Amino acid sequence: MNAERNVAAAATAIIGQKVLPGMEQEFESWQEDLNTAAAYYPGFLGAEISPPTSLQPDWVIVYRFDSVAHLQAWINSGTRQTFLDVGAKYFDGPATQQVVSSGTQSLDPLVTVVVTHRVHPNQVDEFLDWQNHMVQEESKFEGFRGTELFRPIEGLQEEWTTLYRYDSAEHLDAWLTSPQRQQILAEGERFSDFNLRTIDNSFGSWFAFQGNGKEAPPPPSEARTSLAIWVGLYPTVVLLTLALSPLHMRLWIGLLVGNLLSSFLMSFLTMPYYVNPLLGRWLRPPPNESATRTNLRGLGLVAVAMAFWAAVFYLVTVRFWTLP
């Protein structure tokens, strides 16, 4: 699949979560581990965490995958459910979730509003007419930068989702409190069952919009992920082999135990505390960073890390100690 088709099929999940007072640091650490787990799923393009601000009262987490199918596989995965069971002690109520799928992205750091509506199938045409009227009016206000409407996604989201953006919180507030908007809301009273979420501009280009936005092709995540796993797996496996060698286990049982332990170590120690801090900027580069520079720096870090471990294990196993 070429880069343009990847971008066109990209899917974004926006998750809002209230957190119990005093549990913010624990929640953020847990969420970072959850995002790390998401990075191993096919189609992962990135994840971002945003704490509450004056505009957004909840913690907001955004996931971006290269397709709705890949996003759905992550959202419904057993891995994510296991993490949610563990993290439930941090939550102050249930999370909210919106999913959108579209083409190009805007790179401007704008204020985004996410609105979801439950619409009866018999009222879809009326709802679309009402939404068109809403867009016509809001586009007349200063600072308006675009809007997009997303249909429900079977098996993932039942609501219609609308995204619209303004260049500042002040311009957005002028629209939200305007008599024109209040009049249109009154006209669409049958569609008054909606949720509105304002998201601060810290996500930059994470939200998809129609128009003239430009986006660099998504990184070759499969190759980067494979190299990142290699960087973590080599020292983990060698250290485990050295640790288990005094037990003199037969090959078949030694590999069985070693593979089990290495899986746990990779998931809970090596990746979150070694590989991701080392290669995180390469695996999930900022959207405005040069791809060439990012790749050179990332590949250089991989080469240095592997040369270091190779030298260490050569000295340990050849010069200082020979395995029995």
- Is residue 233 within 8 Å of residue 274, measured between CB atoms? no
pLDDT number for residue 8: 40
- Is residue 207 within 8 Å of residue 63, measured between CB atoms? no
Q: pTM of this prediction?
A: 0.46
- Residue 216 resides in a domain: no
Do 260 and 142 belong to one domain? no
Number of domains into which the chain is organized: 2
pLDDT number for residue 73: 84
194 membership: H or E segment, kind and range:
strand 194-199
Which structural domain range is residue 56 located in? 3-203
Give pLDDT tens digits along the chain (324 positions).
333 333 344 778 888 888 999 999 999 999 999 988 888 888 888 888 888 877 677 888 888 888 878 888 888 888 888 888 888 899 887 777 777 765 434 434 557 777 888 788 888 888 888 888 888 888 888 888 777 777 777 766 677 878 777 877 778 888 888 888 888 888 887 877 676 666 655 444 434 333 333 333 334 456 777 888 899 899 999 999 889 888 888 888 988 998 889 888 887 788 878 888 888 778 766 655 677 888 888 899 999 999 999 999 999 888 887 655
Spatial separation of the C-alpha atoms in residues 13 and 68, rounded to whole Å: 9
- Residue 100 resides in a domain: yes
3-state secondary structure 48-101: EEECCCCCCCCEEEEEEECCHHHHHHHHCCHHHHHHHHHHHHHECCCCEEEEEE
pLDDT number for residue 322: 67
Do 198 and 249 belong to one domain? no
Spatial separation of the C-alpha atoms in residues 321 and 316, rounded to whole Å: 6
Do 189 and 55 belong to one domain? yes
Do 48 and 96 belong to one domain? yes
